[in-house]
């Protein structure tokens, strides 16, 4: 049986030992940088010799490296297997076509015991973190030690764990930054929600049905509103509101100032407060602005519906006033509390070739109130004082108006149908 020949060995500039090619290339990757070898400290060399002696004694060798035990075939086979592994590693390093071992960053070994103790790391902590443990790990401030007591594979593993721990720390820092940004955005959104809730609460309070929640009209005096309208539309007035601009624009503010000064100098309004005149001017600007918007093609249908609604409301108000004038004492109690919402709509139209007002009674009005309204209407048509030039046509369907939201509960029992009572 032929034994494999001893492979040539090389002296390592780091530890001054004869190493195989595989060990030499591994040491060169770990301790050779920028053209110089990183020398091993004397204390590490002494520890290495003691470890070598202790290892040789454990395996039955003396200090010369010769074995005191008889030669066995099993030991030689283990030696062959180790050499074959070294040759395979050498071929792997020398073959450029195969994947090269990743280059390990240069890490200087600690020079004293303090640096060595500072560079130690618990591998179990890193492994537990990689298996789903807590993320708040802190990477060592100094690189992991490449202690000579570790095998090359262990050094590679330690270097890989060091890199993974640094990546985990960078990932943790980025996640913490993202969490801080999310917390700030959530705080801003919470503050915005609180502000909106306060505004909605105030808006609901202002629109409550109580007397204190009703919106006050700006022009408290109809005569003042009429004076503002006549002055604004007079031919001698060359300053008029521009509906395409806001009330706070420079032009419209100048128009308001002109109208206020002119009315304040009028003897009829000299004693009136200036703020009331300003309020009347702003109210008339709102009318000019609304008419302008309804005159646009896209809002023309809204203007037509608004005019029709205002005309119908005016007719129902007139109908309520005239019917109240012909009430008899026995009917006053039942009629009390009746509003214009309970009157029929009168719309212009034709029926069977006749032109007149098509009557459309509200669908929610009770039958008793409808009978009373018909009786009062008969009295009006028989009285020459209330005779009118139009004809009422009772051919229309019931009105599609919704019942009023607020109504006296006691009167609602008499005026509304039981199933539609508000």
d(CA 337, CA 320): 11
Domain match, 325 and 385 both: yes
Domain match, 416 and 322 both: yes
Domain match, 239 and 319 both: no
d(CA 387, CA 406): 34
In a domain, 252, yes or no: yes
Number of neighbouring beta carbons within 10 Å of residue 300: 11
Domain match, 412 and 347 both: yes
Per-residue model confidence as pLDDT tens for the chain (422 residues):
555 566 677 888 778 788 887 888 888 888 888 778 877 766 555 555 555 545 555 544 444 444 444 444 444 444 444 544 454 444 444 444 444 444 444 444 444 444 444 444 444 444 444 444 444 444 444 444 445 567 888 888 888 999 999 999 999 999 999 999 999 999 988 888 888 888 888 887 766 544 444 454 454 688 899 999 999 999 899 999 999 999 999 999 999 999 999 999 888 888 888 889 999 999 999 999 988 988 888 888 887 888 888 888 898 998 899 899 889 999 999 999 899 999 998 888 888 878 888 888 998 999 999 999 999 988 888 877 766 667 788 877 888 888 888 888 888 888 998 888 76
In a domain, 407, yes or no: yes
At residue 329's C-alpha, the angle toward residues 326 and 332, to 5°, is: 75
At 279, is the secondary structure helix, strand, or coil?
helix
Domain match, 237 and 331 both: no
At 37, is the secondary structure helix, strand, or coil?
strand
| Among candidate residues 289, 310, 331, the one where a domain is terminated | 289
Domain match, 318 and 409 both: yes
Domain that holds residue 309: 302-420
Domain match, 321 and 232 both: no
In a domain, 35, yes or no: no
Q: Is the pTM of this model over 0.75?
A: no
Reading the block at residue 151, the tokens are 């095998």
The shares of helix, strand and coil residues in the chain, as percent rounded to the nearest 5, are 55, 5, 35
In a domain, 9, yes or no: no
In a domain, 321, yes or no: yes
In a domain, 349, yes or no: yes
For residue 121, give the nearest of 132, 110, 105 by alpha carbon. 110
The total number of structural domains that make up the chain: 2
CA distances for 55 relative to 23, 44, 52, 58, 407, angstroms: 19, 16, 5, 5, 106
Reading the block at residue 344, the tokens are 């029929």
| Among candidate residues 266, 289, 312, the one where a domain is terminated | 289
Which is it for strands 392-393 and 354-360: parallel, antiparallel or unpaired? parallel
Domain match, 414 and 308 both: yes
Contacts of residue 102, defined as CB under 8 A and 6 or more positions apart, other chains included, come to: none
CA distances for 142 relative to 20, 29, 113, 229, 329, angstroms: 31, 20, 14, 86, 106
Reading the block at residue 19, the tokens are 């190493």
In a domain, 71, yes or no: no
């Amino acid at each position: 049986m032929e034994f494999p020949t001893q492979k040539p060995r090389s002296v390592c500039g780091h530890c001054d030992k004869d190493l195989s090619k595989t060990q030499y290339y591994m040491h060169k990757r770990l301790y050779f940088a920028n053209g110089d070898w990183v020398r091993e400290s004397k204390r590490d060399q002494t520890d290495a010799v003691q470890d070598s002696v202790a290892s040789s004694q454990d395996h039955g060798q003396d200090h010369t490296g010769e074995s005191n035990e008889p030669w066995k075939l099993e030991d030689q086979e283990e030696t062959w297997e180790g050499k074959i592994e070294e040759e395979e590693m050498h071929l792997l390093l020398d073959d450029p076509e195969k994947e090269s071992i990743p280059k390990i960053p240069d890490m200087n070994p600690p020079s004293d015991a303090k640096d060595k103790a500072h560079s130690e790391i618990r591998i179990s902590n890193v492994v537990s973190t990689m298996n789903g443990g807590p993320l708040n790990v802190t990477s060592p401030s100094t690189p992991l030690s490449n202690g000579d007591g570790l095998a090359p594979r262990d050094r590679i593993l330690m270097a890989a764990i060091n890199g993974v721990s640094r990546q985990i720390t960078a990932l943790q820092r980025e996640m913490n930054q993202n969490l801080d940004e999310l917390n700030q955005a959530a705080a801003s959104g919470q503050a915005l929600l609180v502000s909106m809730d306060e505004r909605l609460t105030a808006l609901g309070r202002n629109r409550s049905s109580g007397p204190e929640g009703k919106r006050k009209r700006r022009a408290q005096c109809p005569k003042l509103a009429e004076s503002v309208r006549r002055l604004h539309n007079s031919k001698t007035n060359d300053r008029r509101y521009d509906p395409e601009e806001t009330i706070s624009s420079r032009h419209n503010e100048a128009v308001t100032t002109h109208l206020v000064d002119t009315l304040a100098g009028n003897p009829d309004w000299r004693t009136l407060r200036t703020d009331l005149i300003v309020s009347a001017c702003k109210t008339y600007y709102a009318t000019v602005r609304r008419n302008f918007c309804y005159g646009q093609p896209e809002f023309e249908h809204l203007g037509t519906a608004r005019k029709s609604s205002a005309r119908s409301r005016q007719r129902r108000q007139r109908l309520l006033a005239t019917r109240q004038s012909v009430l008899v004492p026995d009917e006053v109690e039942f009629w009390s509390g009746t509003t214009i919402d309970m009157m029929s709509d009168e719309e212009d139209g034709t029926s069977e070739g006749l032109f007149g007002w098509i009557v459309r009674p509200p669908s929610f009005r009770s039958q008793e109130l409808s009978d009373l309204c018909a009786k009062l209407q008969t009295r009006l048509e028989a009285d020459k004082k209330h005779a009118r030039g139009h004809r009422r046509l009772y051919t229309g369907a019931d009105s599609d108006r919704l019942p009023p939201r607020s109504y006296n509960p006691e009167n609602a029992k008499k005026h509304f149908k039981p199933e539609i009572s508000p």
